[in-house]
Structure 1
Amino acid sequence: MKQKPMVSVIMPAYNAAAFIAESIRSVQQQSHLEWELLVIDDASKDGTSEVVEALKEKDDRIKLHILPTNQGAGFARNIGIKAATGDFISFLDADDLWKPSKLEKQLKVMQEENMQVCFSSYELMNEDGQSLKKQIKALKTLSFDKLKKANYIGNLTGIYSARALGKIYCPLIRKRQDWGLWLLAVKKAGGARGIQEPLAIYRERKGSISQNKVEMLQYNYRVYRKVLKYSSIKSLFWMVLFLWEQLFVKQKQKVAL
């Protein structure tokens, strides 16, 4: 009998004690059982690591790395990626949730269609965990050029084959490093497959980067300059394309449940 692939789940955490147990349980409830969860506590001050330790004692698939100083989500994810032993690498933040069939359905599609990067639609909830009755609809297919115009991969839904592509790390920029990682992965893979069924739930929290549009533009420019190594003029050109895509195209992805 062919052994099922191992999935490494990377979970950066910073002051996530209020949410992380629920997020970890959503991994434990996966119908695909072959996984390891690498939690990287980014120098939390609220007892996050104690919550993880308690769960870790009952499930040896959970591994905890505690950073001595706060380094940011991208740095923390890279610590997890480096330590990962799985055939596939996926990501879940410490306040978001997966639906039970998330990994199983993605692995099935990737195997059947020989795809190395996969993502899905996802639902939205508020900070208290109440459904906002909205979802972000995934594109069925995603090219590198399309992804350059806007980030179409919800990081909590993304998975890539480390076996086929090798380990792909987050660029060392403070924000939008998840978009940078998926740009590198999709470019190497030659495209990505989107599953339109929502397989995860994103928690919208006050003050997040996605809520601060001016900051988001600044960080997006850095992706073009520092990750894709574009010139200032070319980066500005792509920023114009990004604004058009974000304001007039990507907004259509948000639909009512």
Structure 2
Amino acid sequence: MLDISVIIPVYNAAEFLEKSVLSALPFEEVKEVILVEDKSTDNSLGICEKLAVENPKVKLFQHPDKENHGAAASRNLGIEKSSGAFITFLDADDYYLPNRFDAEKIFNDPKIEGVFSAIGIEYLTEKGKAEFQSKFADSSLTTVNYAAEGKEVFRGLLSLTPKTFGTFFHLNALTIRKSAIDKYHLRFNEVLRVHQDSDFIIKLAYHCYLKSGIIDQAVAMRGIHDNNRITKIVRYSPQYNQRQFLFWNSLYEWSKSLPLDSDAAQHIFLQKKAFELTGKSGFSKAICLLNVMLKNPNILRTKYRYTYYHS
């Protein structure tokens, strides 16, 4: 039997929090549910306190200064406070399904350090649905396109595989050995207010041996509502470009000291450089782009080439 620590960062989630926590508690595999309350302005703290009193599995923490530090710092604090041999995550407005840990039997193989599955989407408000569908494909599952493990996962997430693997799987459907993330000193980048999950997953896929689990049906549900941060960002807006730059720059700084395959290193560098260029304009932008093109013309073949011409 696995002993799992479920880490839930909590910020202004009073409307959804109890359902989220109660979805994790019934599993025998779940040793503890760690709530990290991040100075909410609603009644989230009170609900956290109530859940911790009523359920011995629930453990409540706040940052030492009791201030707001963001989801990355909250997940990192949860990792530090966890006592389970395995770590999972759950957003406070999402919930697990009864099959959440069905794939985790593959941990019988000591080589496997992490397993990931698919999650479903539940539209909680019409406005949230409209914003989500205007920015993302209207798919009932967030998943990858085919089963994979090991290096194929890392390369797939960077779109470097012959077949399209899919560029994302969700933290809600990831289970990882705590010993693995400690061994490789993996934590969420607290500079990133968004995309810290993608940043963590790509780094995890490089260092750890991951394997796909249940990828054709949901093991958790993601709630889409009016206040989802990721849907508020207009694509190719200055805010979008800056956040993409911070994400790719985080991967670039991490990758510089690693023996990555040349195509992976080049991909990360070019994505970083592409969004760096969006912060420039006019003659300065043209000169910088020309300099990059002379060194590596593949910059004009990146997925985000649109941004070179739209500041």
TM-score if structure 1 supplies the norm length?
0.81
In structure 2, the CA distance between the partners of 1:65 and 1:81, relative to structure 1 (3 Å rule), is same
Q: CA deviation at 1:241?
A: 4.2
- 2:81 paired residue number: 83
1:15-65 CA-partner distances (Å, limit 9, x unpaired): 1111000000100132x3442111111101211111121121121111111
Alignment of 1:27 with 2:24, yes or no, is yes
Higher relative contact order, structure no. (Cα contacts within 8 Å, ≥ 6 residues apart): 1
CA–CA distance in structure 2, aligned partners of residues 133 and 146 of structure 1 = 20
Partner residue in 1 for 2:220: 200
Alpha-carbon spacing, 1:110–1:124, altered in 2? closer, same or farther (3 Å): same
Q: Which of residues 173, 183, 187 is equivalent to 1:157?
A: 173
Is 1:186 matched up with 2:186? Answer: no
Do the aligned partners of residues 165 and 48 (structure 1) sit closer, same or farther apart at CA in structure 2, a change above 3 Å counting?
Answer: closer
Tell me how far 1:137 sits from its aligned partner: 3.2
Change (3 A) 1:112 1:18: same
Separation in 1 of the partners of 2:222 and 2:41? 23
Distance in 2, Cα, partners of 1:56 & 1:240: 52
Checking the alignment, whether the CA contact within 8 Å between 2:252 and 2:269 is kept in structure 1 is no
Find the residue that maps to 2:176 and give its secondary structure.
strand
Work out whether residues 96 and 202 of structure 1, in 8 Å CA contact, stay in contact via their aligned partners in 2.
yes
- SS, match of residue 227 in structure 1: helix
Q: Which amino acid is the alignment partner of residue 188 of structure 1?
A: H
CA change 1:217–1:238 in 2 (3 A) is farther
Deviations 1:119-150 (A, max 9, x none): 11111111259999822233422521221347
Q: Percent identity?
A: 21
Cα shift readout 1:155-179 (whole Å, capped 9, x = no counterpart): 2111211134426210122211111
> Take 1:62 and 1:176, find their aligned partners in 2: how far apart are those partners?
27
1:51 is the counterpart of 2:47: yes
Q: 1:169 aligns with which of 187, 199, 205?
A: 187
Matched, 1:122 2:122: no
Residues 188 and 99 of structure 1: is their aligned pair in 2 closer, same or farther, counting only changes over 3 Å? Answer: same
| 2:230 aligns with one of 203, 210, 213 | 210
Q: Please provide the CA RMSD for this pair.
A: 2.9
Does residue 225 (structure 1) correspond to residue 221 (structure 2)? The answer is: no
The size of the alignment, in residue pairs, is: 239
Deviation at residue 218 of structure 1 after TM alignment? 3.4
| Structure 1 residues without counterparts, runs of 5 or longer | 245-257
User: How much has 1:66 moved relative to structure 2?
Assistant: 2.2
Counterpart Cα distance in 1 of 2:11 and 2:95: 16
Q: 1:18 aligns with which of 15, 18, 41?
A: 15
Change (3 A) 1:28 1:146: same
- Gapped runs of 5+ residues in structure 2? 130-137, 160-165, 257-267, 275-297, 306-311
Q: Tell me which residue corresponds to 1:61.
A: 57
Q: Which residue is equivalent to 1:251? A: none
* Bigger Rg, structure 1 or 2: 2
Secondary structure at the counterpart of residue 67 of structure 2: coil
Question: Structure 2 CA distance, aligned partners of 1:178 and 1:238?
Answer: 25
CA distance in 2, matches of 1:138, 1:35: 28
Structure 1: 4+ residue segments shifted above 6 A? 129-133
Deviations 1:213-257 (A, max 9, x none): 34455323322212332686462368964559xxxxxxxxxxxxx
- Matches of 2:221 and 2:173, distance apart in 1: 9
Aligned partners of 1:127 and 1:74: how far apart in 2? 24
